Amino acid sequence: MPSADLRRHGHELIDWIADYLDGLAERPVLSPVRPGQVHQALPVEAPRLGEPLETIREDFERLIVPALAHWNHPRFFAYFNSSSSGPAILAELLAAALNVNTMLWKTGPAATELEQVVLGWLRALLGLPDGFRGWLYEGGSSSTLHALAAARQRALGLGLREGGLYQAPRLRVYASPQTHTSVDKALMTLGLGLGALRRVAVDSDHRMRVDALREAVAQDRRAGLWPCCVVATLGSTSCTAIDPIAPTARLCEAEGVWLHVDAAHGGALALLPERREDFAGWEGADSIVVNPHKWLMVPLDASVLYTRHPDVLRQAFSLVPAYLETREQHQVEDAMDYGITLGRRFRALKLWFTLRYFGQEGLQVRLREHLRLAQEVARRVDAHPLMERVAPVPMSTVCLRARHPRIAGGEQDAFNRRWLEAINATGRLFLSPTELDGRFVLRFVISGLRTQAHHVDEAWQTMDLTLGELLGCTLDRGPTVR
Ligand code: PLP
């Protein structure tokens, strides 16, 4: 592309992005598109001859954008929302332009060093001690996979590299039923198998019970199994439950078991001094995952794995073929030694732009506002005669259900499913489901950069209205009602 064209299209595209972000609230959050519709609308083959960018852009606007879920939408309240800030969008553009591969220090000296500096800044903002070293991976699942690989490495020692799991003792990993499935996937991937996972009972607020953990570890030792790793979560996926970290860390220390803390979403809250209590003891963890791409306004993908044992992580992953040797390799740290991928994106740039643009206080203001808005939603749910809140709200996720005395117990889940579908079908907001205590639950998560009080209010009105309409129909219809 001639640079004059790049310049022209670049200016136009930045204008498009600015207009898109400004106009998001007017769009439906979810597209009404049917499965297969986009596929059918696209040509079966790549073009033989190149096409003008104007045509590609036209198709992008006509076929792609209307068929998207808009994650930056201010009324996107599903999953754990990840939003992209202006500075981070620009940094991503630069990263693509530079196309630096941070596999080796030599192939990206500034990128490699910036990653360490910016992860050092974040570590300090989170109140973690200097002993933690961090690397950026593409997601929380990947960070956790690397953490569990390191835990396995420490448990089985150097022989693992050569001999694999053949004749290795049976390792055990402990986690609560609320733990993210990335742990299950890591165990499948690492050859430990799902059978290695021992679920530890939770209390009524869905927090892992340390007494149950202690008992589980002791039982396994008696049975000749090797306790290898405990995964504790600070902000569980369904309801942001906060596992008791300090006693868990003490137990792991005493037992010589690796403690991995999944703070993929919740870790952001450690930026708030008034919330540090929830994190007390996490400095005793062996590894911690925090995802800037969840609640720190950094677009996908950016997940940090901090560990106090970089040497063990390195043992698990380092392998240097002749073609990757460099003169500096003994003086520097090459990121490829700490992970499964060789090629790595320049992810630190967008985190650097974000931390500098917002500053600690700018991020704190937004986090506090999300917490405040979530408390407001919780208050409204509690006050609503036809809704119930089904979990505490320690962060900015509210778990709720509709209830009506005339809807039979066995019908409640089906009714709530219909309510969720009806809410999302309006296009006015997007909520996602989960299950708590065996019941179908709606999650209302406030973590989007562009979400303001009036967006929450509009969403609430739609939920209330939809519930009223659905109850009217349901109660009129007869059979589902007692
Ligand atoms: N950990 C927790 C607590 C999560 O909620 C999630 C995803 O929502 C993950 C890990 C996985 O993170 P990622 O989607 O970045 O792989």
What is the distance between the alpha carbons of residues 364 and 378, in angstroms, rounded to a whole number?
Answer: 21
Instruction: Among 323, 345, 367, give the residue marking a domain's end.
Output: 345
Q: In this structure, are residues 258 and 228 in contact, taking their beta carbons and an 8 Å threshold?
A: yes
Distances (CA, A) of 292 to 91, 285, 308: 14, 19, 20
Best residue among 233, 291, 396, 447 to mutate for probing ligand 1's pocket (most ligand atoms within 8 Å of CB) is: 291
Q: At CB < 8 A and 24+ separation, what contacts does 273-279 make?
A: 276/127, 278/234, 278/242, 278/245, 278/394, 279/126, 279/127, 279/234, 279/245
Does ligand 1 lie within 6 Å of residue 303's CB atom? yes
Is 41 a domain residue? no
In sequence order, what are the beta bridge partners of 230? 174, 259
Instruction: Among 293, 312, 345, give the residue marking a domain's end.
Output: 345
Among protein residues, the one whose CA lies closest to atom 5 of ligand 1: 237
Instruction: Among 345, 378, 403, give the residue marking a domain's end.
Output: 345
Query: Counting Cβ atoms within 10 Å, is residue 427 exposed (0-12), middle (13-18) or buried (19+)?
Result: middle
Best residue among 262, 293, 295, 303 to mutate for probing ligand 1's pocket (most ligand atoms within 8 Å of CB) is: 262
Is 210 a domain residue? yes
Does ligand 1 lie within 6 Å of residue 77's CB atom? no
Residues 285 and 395 in one domain: no
Does ligand 1 lie within 6 Å of residue 233's CB atom? yes
Residues 109 and 203 in one domain: yes
What is the distance between the alpha carbons of residues 100 and 96, in angstroms, rounded to a whole number?
Answer: 8
What is the distance between the alpha carbons of residues 5 and 378, in angstroms, rounded to a whole number?
Answer: 51
**Secondary structure element (H or E) that encloses residue 15, with its range:** helix 3-22
> How many residues can be counted in the chain?
482
Is 47 a domain residue? no
Is 192 a domain residue? yes
Residues 187 and 298 in one domain: yes
Is 316 a domain residue? yes
Is 89 a domain residue? no
Is the peptide bond preceding residue 301 cis, with omega within 30 degrees of 0?
Answer: yes
Is 276 a domain residue? yes
Residues 167 and 264 in one domain: yes
* pTM of model > 0.75: yes
H helices present in 157-299, as ranges: 159-163, 182-189, 210-222, 245-255, 292-295
Coil, helix or strand at residue 257: coil
For the beta carbon of residue 315, count every other beta carbon within 10 angstroms.
Answer: 18
The residue among 283, 289, 291 whose CA lies nearest residue 306 is 289
**Secondary structure element (H or E) that encloses residue 98, with its range:** helix 86-98
Q: In this structure, are residues 57 and 100 in contact, taking their beta carbons and an 8 Å threshold?
A: no
H helices present in 276-342, as ranges: 292-295, 310-317
* Cα dihedral across residues 88, 92, 95, 97: positive or negative: negative
Eight-class DSSP state of 307: E
What pLDDT does 476 receive? Answer: 61
**Domain range for residue 423?**
1-30+69-84+359-482
Query: Counting Cβ atoms within 10 Å, is residue 477 exposed (0-12), middle (13-18) or buried (19+)?
Result: exposed
> Residue 141 Cα, ligand 1 centroid: separation in angstroms?
6
Per-residue pLDDT of the chain (482 residues; tens, 9 = 90+): 999 999 999 999 999 999 999 999 999 999 999 999 999 999 999 999 999 999 999 999 999 999 999 999 999 999 998 899 999 999 999 999 999 999 999 999 999 999 999 999 999 999 999 999 999 999 999 999 999 999 999 999 989 999 999 889 999 999 999 999 999 999 999 999 999 999 999 999 999 999 999 999 999 999 999 999 999 999 999 999 999 999 999 999 999 999 999 999 999 999 999 999 999 999 999 999 999 999 999 999 999 999 999 999 999 999 999 999 999 999 999 999 999 999 999 999 999 999 999 999 999 999 999 999 999 999 999 999 999 999 999 999 999 999 998 888 889 999 999 999 999 999 999 999 999 999 999 999 999 999 999 999 999 999 999 999 999 876 664 433 32
Does ligand 1 lie within 6 Å of residue 139's CB atom? yes
Residues 457 and 375 in one domain: yes
What is the distance between the alpha carbons of residues 197 and 187, in angstroms, rounded to a whole number?
Answer: 8
- CATH code for position 405: 3.90.1150.170
What is the distance between the alpha carbons of residues 279 and 117, in angstroms, rounded to a whole number?
Answer: 23
Residues 395 and 443 in one domain: yes
What is the distance between the alpha carbons of residues 243 and 247, in angstroms, rounded to a whole number?
Answer: 10
The residue among 349, 334, 305 whose CA lies nearest residue 136 is 305
Residues 211 and 144 in one domain: yes
Residues 116 and 138 in one domain: yes
Residues 363 and 341 in one domain: no
Residues 335 and 446 in one domain: no
Number of compact structural domains in the chain: 2
Residues 402 and 296 in one domain: no
Is 422 a domain residue? yes
- CATH code for position 278: 3.40.640.10
Residues 186 and 258 in one domain: yes
